[in-house]
């Protein structure tokens, strides 16, 4: 049984950890977004909605909780889209040629990239949830420990499926492109031809 996808997985995870700017921005930016905008907007929405009577049978979700869930989805989306585009940069730097020359099965390349992108999305989702709870988001209000466990597993399942879908989409786009800036290269070719 070939486990070559683990090599691709570890290479991408090492690259993620070594690029300090990318690592810090991908982990801190969603937290800062919630801290600066979430808390301020939450106070405004609470003040504006105090006169609206609650609808029976519908739980009241605070704006900070609503925003934190959206930040998890948005972060997963952008991490997944960028994760597949790694293949394009590998292709331009010549690293993809070396990987393709190895005896590694071709589907392991995509699988390794998808696994590393999913791991990054899991890390970010957990950090956002922990930070959200720390600043006042009520993800699991009134839940028992068993319900909290199933809820976290459900969130991670959603993040995993969501990230895989966009990782495969961005990987397919990256494989079909020749350069990270296709419109610019076409424009330059058009200028040279005239």
Contact 75, 30 (CB under 8 A): yes
pTM of the model: 0.75
Distance (Å, whole) CA 17 – CA 11: 10
Mean pLDDT of the 67-87 span: 83
Q: Say if residues 124 and 76 touch (Cβ distance below 8 Å).
A: yes
DSSP-assigned letter for residue 3: -
Q: Categorize the per-residue pLDDT at 192 as very low, low, confident or very high, splitting at 50, 70 and 90.
A: low
What is the greatest pairwise CA distance in the chain? 70
pLDDT value for 149: 92
Q: Which long-range contacts (CB under 8 A, 24 or more apart) does 141-147 make?
A: none
| Rounded Cα distance, 144 and 152, in Å | 12
Pick 151 or 16 by higher pLDDT.
151
Those residues whose C-beta lies under 8 Å from the C-beta of residue 72, and which sit 6 or more positions away, are 30, 124, 125, 128, 129, 155, 159
Residues 6+ apart with CB under 8 A from 172: 84
Residue with tokens 């600066």: 36
């Amino acid at each position: 049984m070939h486990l070559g996808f683990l090599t691709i997985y570890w290479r991408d995870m090492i690259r993620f950890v070594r690029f300090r700017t990318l690592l810090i921005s991908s982990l801190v930016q969603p937290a800062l977004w919630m801290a600066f905008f979430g808390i301020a907007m939450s106070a405004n929405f609470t003040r504006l909605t105090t006169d609206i009577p609650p609808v029976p049978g519908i739980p009241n979700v605070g704006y900070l909780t609503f925003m934190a869930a959206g930040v998890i989805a948005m972060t997963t989306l952008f991490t997944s889209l960028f994760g597949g585009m790694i293949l394009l940069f590998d292709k331009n730097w010549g690293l993809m040629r070396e990987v393709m020359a190895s005896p590694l099965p071709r589907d392991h390349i995509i699988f390794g990239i998808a696994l590393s992108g999913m791991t990054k999305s899991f890390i970010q989702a957990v950090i956002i949830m922990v930070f959200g709870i720390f600043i006042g988001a009520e993800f699991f209000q009134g839940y028992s420990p068993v319900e909290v466990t199933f809820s976290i597993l459900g969130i991670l399942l959603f993040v995993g499926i969501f990230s895989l879908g966009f990782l495969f989409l961005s990987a397919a786009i990256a494989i079909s492109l020749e350069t990270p800036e296709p419109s610019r290269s076409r424009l330059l070719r058009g200028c040279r031809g005239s």
